[in-house]
Structure 1
Amino acid sequence: MKPSNAIQERVQEFLNKYPPFNLIMPEKLQQLAAQVRVLYLEPEQVLFSQGDARHAFFYVVRQGAVRLLQQDELQEQRLVDICDEGDVFGARALITKNNYASTAKAAEETLVYGVPIALFEPILHENPEVALYFAAGFAAGASVQHGRMQETNQARRGLKSQLGLPLPLHLEDVLAVDTSQSLVTCSPETSLRLAAQIMSDKDSSFMVVVDEQQKPLGILTDTDMRKRVVAGHVSIDDPVTAIMSSPVVSIKPNPHMAEALISMMRHKIKHLCITADGSINTVVQGVVTEHDLLLAQGSNPAVLVQEIRQTKSIANLPTLRDRAEELLQKYLEQEVSIAFVANIITEINDALIVRALQHAESILGEPPLRYCWLSIGSEGREEQLLRTDQDNALVFEDQHAAGEKEAQVYFLKLATIVNELLEKSGFEKCPANMMGSNPKWCQPLHTWKQYFYSWIHEPTEEAIMHTSIFFDYRPVYGDVKLAAQLTDYIYEHIQQERIFLPFLAKHALQTPPPLSFFRNFIVERGGEHKDQFDIKLRAMTPLVDAARVLTLDNRVAGMNNTFKRFEKLAELEPQNADLYREAAMAYEIMMRYRALNGLRNHDSGRYLNPQELNKLERQTLRNTFKPISDVQELLQVRFQLSYLG
């Protein structure tokens, strides 16, 4: 039994590193690991073929790699994906019950875990988060191309993306490369001096070395020039053959992106020659570069984040951030999980903030003290899908009075640069000036502790208002230990002051459920938004406030996101689990409606016109309001608010 238990423990430990298994309760995962089958595949061994009936298992790569291949109408196989350690494949059988849409073949010696579908299906139905991970791949637009469904690749894409991990290329897409433009070429006898001059004149970073028939012999790049010629290893008068990369790796015209990407990875190169038949024995027509692949990934959030982080020109940030709106529109139209969408948009916003802070530091010089930039409000909760107004703050380390005053001057300048850059990127400045450029919200750690001490121990209406904003802070950049120290201080004093949470709960009840006695939407009676429904104030804020006070009551620290808070509460309070899950689902639906409304009207999406909603939309929204009244009733009873006055 000991060896068996040891294997089971290793399986469980491995699975717990990867989604969706890391979302499963330990005891359930332990039971699952005990039934996992370990399979060894030799190179080129087929695990299942396209069209095969589904197995009793879906699979996870433990070690090695598995290629997923699809056969087209011409009976030609093409690569649609490569699964490596931790990747799930064969999941289509779990979701659709249909035959396999691709062939799984070992790329090398490979170990895979076979996870029994019969044992996993109850987990899928019992755990909404696990179900979302699998379903997201299909919701993300399981596209039909050339008459074939791409579920297998889409499922994997959904699995990886749900944790905010980089989304892979749309591997089935064709990579269109313009071969009509003149290609920079030279003969093998050309000197490096002349080649450098030609490349400079043509503004090209590479040159293809060809023979008399224009067949490719090698590729010369500016990197080769720097490393070999400028470094003095080769004379500038030597021929290009002295440093060119040869032989070239070639590919046929209009390749699938998977084919180009894998070829570059396999050969550790950044350029592929396009030839008439894909071999080096025909005329070169063009070149696919690594940059071409990056441009083709324009809708890939991982690439967008990378571009934001690495852009040298700060003036590019607003344009880069605009592209996130296109992503948001696509994800919402395809009904992708809001949890996933929120993760992606948060990553993009955080990258923008970090790049802005780095830019500010480059202008002002090294910070005089350690500091931490905090996102607060909806961005602090990782819920800011649309570019609404900014909410942020800055905390820096304690120092003697003179040192703090001098440091604050620096940090106010830094915050001003960041706030202005965020404004240029579409995030309006906070009307209430809840920003790091406000001296009140740019303070040393001990001052922030004083703020929270007074708010907790003297819970006036203004104090409660401030806590509803600042309690949801999230460290984005800098020394996160400062934020951690502040968090520890806050929770210590919440436990000391028993009256605080009831006051916070009372504040959460200020907005009544958003339906009238006749089940009509309670709309604005006058002003600019007359007859419109304020989904933020009347529906979303009550759930945000309730989730906050209930997690504080359960002493849950470091979790700001509203639907994650409700999911955690469902785990901590099984007797109220159904209500909390309904509240989480309701909040996600509201976030989707608000985002769609905002994109449609080019605004914050806060005000909906009930008359523009169809019957199904109105009914769906009405159904989301039910958990509001139920949660508020729970607060009323738990904190005995009828006695609070």
Structure 2
Amino acid sequence: MNTIAEHIADFLKEYSPFNHLTFEELSEIATSIRVVNLEKHKTLFQINDILHDSFYVVASGVINLSVIADAEETLLNKCNEGDIFGLRPFFAKNNYMMTAKAREESIVYAIPIATFRPFVANNSDVLNFLLESFAVNTRNPKDKENLIGKLISDNVFYSDQQSEMQYFQSLTYNNSPLITAKNAIVQDVAQLMTETLKNNIVICENNIPLGIITDTDMRSKIATGRYPITISVDKIMSSPVITVVENVSLAEAQLLMLKHNVTHLCVTQDGTDKSTLKGMITEHDLIAAQASNPGVLIKEIKRSQSSKELKQIRERLTDLIQTSISKNIPLSHVFNIASEINLALIKRSVELSILDLGSPPARFAWLSIGSQGRKEQLLLTDQDSILIFEDVAADKYKEVKDYFLKLGKRTTSTLEKIGYDLCPNGHMGSNMIWCKSLTDWIKQYDSWMNTPGENSNDLSSIFFDYEITFGEQRIEDAIGNVIFKNAKNNTLFFDFLGNDALRKNSPLSFFKKFNVEEEGLNKDKFDIKTRALMPLIDGARLFALSYGIKGINNTHQRFRQMAIADPKHGEIYLNCAEAFLVLSKFRTLEGLKNDNSGQFINLDEMSKIDKEKLKNALAPMKELEELIKSKFQLTQFS
């Protein structure tokens, strides 16, 4: 064997997952490895490139992995010596989803997948390492302390890649599979399978799985007369069994079944066939799990005929959100998925109203405002909406408005049945004041923005966070144009909005203690919505309007966009973007736990670490507050 290959094998054996292979195996692989020299800033592959036939290990230097989202390049990860990247060709058929570029002069080893695949197939440690790394973009998941060989996935998930979601979906499966001993007689076992209506049974010794018998084995081995019905089961069982860990994802389970050409997987304590049996995953379980994939949910929403059907789908969205968060999917992706499904639910509710009432007498747009308008609605919070219909002749106005008020009432009532409470402030398309013609809406926005103090009682800043959920895009565009035209150099308006943003109560006391509710139902709880999230949401909206940032309503994305528009304060904006995600996650977990809007956090139930995390996420607010004061020259509360 040549010295270069020997040198490569020596290098690889220090890092996971190669340390699971013997030196002979590594030497065999090393002979087909290509050494790639990259100059500084040289790209190895970029987004949408056709997949290479190899994956890569950094031998020296640093490789940056980045994605382009919303027209900006975001660095996802830096790969140092021993890190693996570019695993996509192993697991997916589509093109690369990210760019790999040398940050400095670097050397990488290109390992041909065709050469490496057999070693993966025969070594579950290697497979699990690669699968989990590809799926969760993590360091070595089995080995949290020792971060050598952290493995970086090039798998980024956006809401339009619904198939990717399968990597994050957990499976429900049978937790009490049928088991028997290896000396049991086939005839008795067949009897037991028939009585319990099960098509499989696991042969165990001290609860460790040795083999499995399925209906197929009974048919192909016993019914054909190859073996007598009186022999013991260990003679006809398939062995060894293919095993997985308990929280295996849908995609991982599918890959393993395909790879080993089996229809059953045994779930064991540590994912190997040397540990206790915990359950059984069948092909049927995979089919059932597909049903809560976002793409499938959206298809079902489009076919739904009643609020009852829509409510059931909304409940499955809650499960999906919960699973995604427990699997540590970035919250920004969870927002994307949830908002697409919420959007489809609202859209279908409007469609069902139209099916009942008959065709609308004029073109219109139904806009979600507030949290759904910002694509931030993960919990069942109340609904906020406005309805805008095109201008009609004066003599038609009343009859047209009556139709749309009926449409508004039906739609908000359907949404209420799905689980979205009516807005307590009446900000809904079913309310006379918020259902009107385009000209009337334009007057409304003009008055809010040009004389903000006078009729400020009905100015809620959520009217500046909107998303069209049904109807004519150009109606939404017309509103956008009015808002951004009025915002230009409008000191009075920004003075009003700025002071409004600063009026929220501070989250921490002078002594850095949480300011909690002093009385009422939520006494001693922390109001994370009003004290922590709203100042960030208000601040992001204020800056987005003042920088003329159109079409981006999401708080996290607004802050990231601001970092580009105003790089001098980029760090503050990026810290706020991060803080918003951390705080939203706390609120969502609280809401999922208590089946409510998650607004009030019970601090007593939080671990010390979580309390610190929560406190740290409140830190960027001070800087944001100072920035608002200096940029909009706010000295007093007007």
Length-normalised TM-score, structure 2:
0.64
What residue is the counterpart of 2:163 in the other structure?
167
**CA displacement, residues 68-101 of structure 1 (integer Å, 9 cap, x when unaligned):** xxxxxxxxxxxxxxxxxxxxxxx99948944589
Aligned pairs for 1:295-374 within 5 A: 295-374=288-367
State the Cα distance separating 1:403 from its structure 2 match. 2.2
SS at match of 1:568: helix
> Is 1:624 equivalent to 2:617 in the alignment?
yes
Aligned pairs for 1:530-549 within 5 A: 530-549=523-542
* CA–CA distance in structure 2, aligned partners of residues 598 and 175 of structure 1: 23
Inter-CA distance 105–160: structure 2 relative to 1 (3 Å threshold): closer
* CA–CA distance in structure 2, aligned partners of residues 293 and 557 of structure 1: 42
* CA–CA distance in structure 2, aligned partners of residues 150 and 106 of structure 1: 8
What residue is the counterpart of 1:505 in the other structure?
498
> Is 1:527 equivalent to 2:534 in the alignment?
no
State the Cα distance separating 1:449 from its structure 2 match. 0.7
SS at match of 1:150: helix
What residue is the counterpart of 2:103 in the other structure?
119
**CA displacement, residues 18-43 of structure 1 (integer Å, 9 cap, x when unaligned):** xxxxxxxxxxxxx99964469xx999
SS at match of 1:435: coil
State the Cα distance separating 1:55 from its structure 2 match. 10
* CA–CA distance in structure 2, aligned partners of residues 104 and 384 of structure 1: 35
What residue is the counterpart of 1:435 in the other structure?
428
Aligned pairs for 1:249-328 within 5 A: 257-258=254-255, 295-328=288-321
What residue is the counterpart of 2:470 in the other structure?
477
* CA–CA distance in structure 2, aligned partners of residues 95 and 417 of structure 1: 58
Inter-CA distance 402–298: structure 2 relative to 1 (3 Å threshold): same
State the Cα distance separating 1:58 from its structure 2 match. 8.9
State the Cα distance separating 1:516 from its structure 2 match. 0.8
AA aligned to 1:310 is R
SS at match of 1:388: coil
State the Cα distance separating 1:569 from its structure 2 match. 1.0
**CA displacement, residues 392-420 of structure 1 (integer Å, 9 cap, x when unaligned):** 11111111123232222222222222211
SS at match of 1:372: strand
State the Cα distance separating 1:259 from its structure 2 match. 8.6
Checking the alignment, whether the CA contact within 8 Å between 1:144 and 1:150 is kept in structure 2 is no
What residue is the counterpart of 1:413 in the other structure?
406
Inter-CA distance 604–565: structure 2 relative to 1 (3 Å threshold): same
AA aligned to 2:102 is A
State the Cα distance separating 1:294 from its structure 2 match. 5.3
Checking the alignment, whether the CA contact within 8 Å between 1:380 and 1:472 is kept in structure 2 is yes
* CA–CA distance in structure 2, aligned partners of residues 305 and 438 of structure 1: 28
Aligned pairs for 1:449-460 within 5 A: 449-460=442-453
SS at match of 2:541: helix
What residue is the counterpart of 1:392 in the other structure?
385
What residue is the counterpart of 2:135 in the other structure?
154
What residue is the counterpart of 2:185 in the other structure?
none
Aligned pairs for 1:21-60 within 5 A: 35-36=43-44, 46-48=53-55
Checking the alignment, whether the CA contact within 8 Å between 1:543 and 1:583 is kept in structure 2 is yes
AA aligned to 2:135 is Q
* CA–CA distance in structure 2, aligned partners of residues 487 and 412 of structure 1: 23
* CA–CA distance in structure 1, aligned partners of residues 621 and 439 of structure 2: 37
> Is 1:579 equivalent to 2:586 in the alignment?
no
Checking the alignment, whether the CA contact within 8 Å between 2:55 and 2:86 is kept in structure 1 is no
State the Cα distance separating 1:172 from its structure 2 match. 12
State the Cα distance separating 1:387 from its structure 2 match. 0.5
What residue is the counterpart of 2:227 in the other structure?
none
> Is 1:604 equivalent to 2:597 in the alignment?
yes
Inter-CA distance 486–601: structure 2 relative to 1 (3 Å threshold): same
Checking the alignment, whether the CA contact within 8 Å between 1:513 and 1:628 is kept in structure 2 is no
Inter-CA distance 121–362: structure 2 relative to 1 (3 Å threshold): farther
* CA–CA distance in structure 2, aligned partners of residues 42 and 479 of structure 1: 38
* CA–CA distance in structure 1, aligned partners of residues 54 and 163 of structure 2: 25
Inter-CA distance 372–520: structure 2 relative to 1 (3 Å threshold): same
AA aligned to 1:426 is G
* CA–CA distance in structure 2, aligned partners of residues 103 and 566 of structure 1: 31
Which stretch has the larger CA shift, 627-636 or 435-444? Answer: 627-636
What residue is the counterpart of 2:276 in the other structure?
none
State the Cα distance separating 1:614 from its structure 2 match. 2.1
Which stretch has the larger CA shift, 568-577 or 147-156? Answer: 147-156
State the Cα distance separating 1:165 from its structure 2 match. 2.6
AA aligned to 1:466 is L
State the Cα distance separating 1:112 from its structure 2 match. 8.2
* CA–CA distance in structure 2, aligned partners of residues 616 and 432 of structure 1: 37
State the Cα distance separating 1:505 from its structure 2 match. 0.5
Checking the alignment, whether the CA contact within 8 Å between 2:58 and 2:84 is kept in structure 1 is yes
SS at match of 1:431: coil
SS at match of 2:308: helix
SS at match of 1:378: coil
What residue is the counterpart of 1:588 in the other structure?
581
Checking the alignment, whether the CA contact within 8 Å between 1:93 and 1:100 is kept in structure 2 is no
SS at match of 1:395: strand
* CA–CA distance in structure 2, aligned partners of residues 577 and 103 of structure 1: 32
Checking the alignment, whether the CA contact within 8 Å between 2:516 and 2:527 is kept in structure 1 is yes
**CA displacement, residues 207-234 of structure 1 (integer Å, 9 cap, x when unaligned):** xxxxxx999xxxxxxxxxxxxxxxxxxx
> Is 1:634 equivalent to 2:627 in the alignment?
yes
State the Cα distance separating 1:499 from its structure 2 match. 1.2
Checking the alignment, whether the CA contact within 8 Å between 1:374 and 1:476 is kept in structure 2 is yes
SS at match of 1:476: strand
Inter-CA distance 575–296: structure 2 relative to 1 (3 Å threshold): same
* CA–CA distance in structure 1, aligned partners of residues 559 and 572 of structure 2: 9
Checking the alignment, whether the CA contact within 8 Å between 2:366 and 2:471 is kept in structure 1 is yes
Length, aligned pairs only? 474
State the Cα distance separating 1:527 from its structure 2 match. 1.3
Inter-CA distance 121–363: structure 2 relative to 1 (3 Å threshold): farther
Checking the alignment, whether the CA contact within 8 Å between 1:161 and 1:167 is kept in structure 2 is no
* CA–CA distance in structure 2, aligned partners of residues 106 and 533 of structure 1: 44
Inter-CA distance 383–96: structure 2 relative to 1 (3 Å threshold): farther
* CA–CA distance in structure 1, aligned partners of residues 359 and 522 of structure 2: 47
Checking the alignment, whether the CA contact within 8 Å between 2:367 and 2:469 is kept in structure 1 is yes
AA aligned to 1:370 is R
Checking the alignment, whether the CA contact within 8 Å between 1:164 and 1:340 is kept in structure 2 is no
Checking the alignment, whether the CA contact within 8 Å between 2:169 and 2:323 is kept in structure 1 is no
Inter-CA distance 350–54: structure 2 relative to 1 (3 Å threshold): farther
* CA–CA distance in structure 2, aligned partners of residues 342 and 106 of structure 1: 25
Inter-CA distance 260–367: structure 2 relative to 1 (3 Å threshold): farther
C-alpha RMSD over aligned residues: 4.5
Inter-CA distance 367–642: structure 2 relative to 1 (3 Å threshold): same
Inter-CA distance 36–525: structure 2 relative to 1 (3 Å threshold): same
**CA displacement, residues 250-291 of structure 1 (integer Å, 9 cap, x when unaligned):** xxx9996359999xxxxxxxxx9999xxxxxxxxxxxx99x9
SS at match of 1:475: strand
Inter-CA distance 632–170: structure 2 relative to 1 (3 Å threshold): closer
The percentage of counterpart residues that share the same residue type is 32
Checking the alignment, whether the CA contact within 8 Å between 2:55 and 2:89 is kept in structure 1 is yes
Inter-CA distance 641–367: structure 2 relative to 1 (3 Å threshold): same
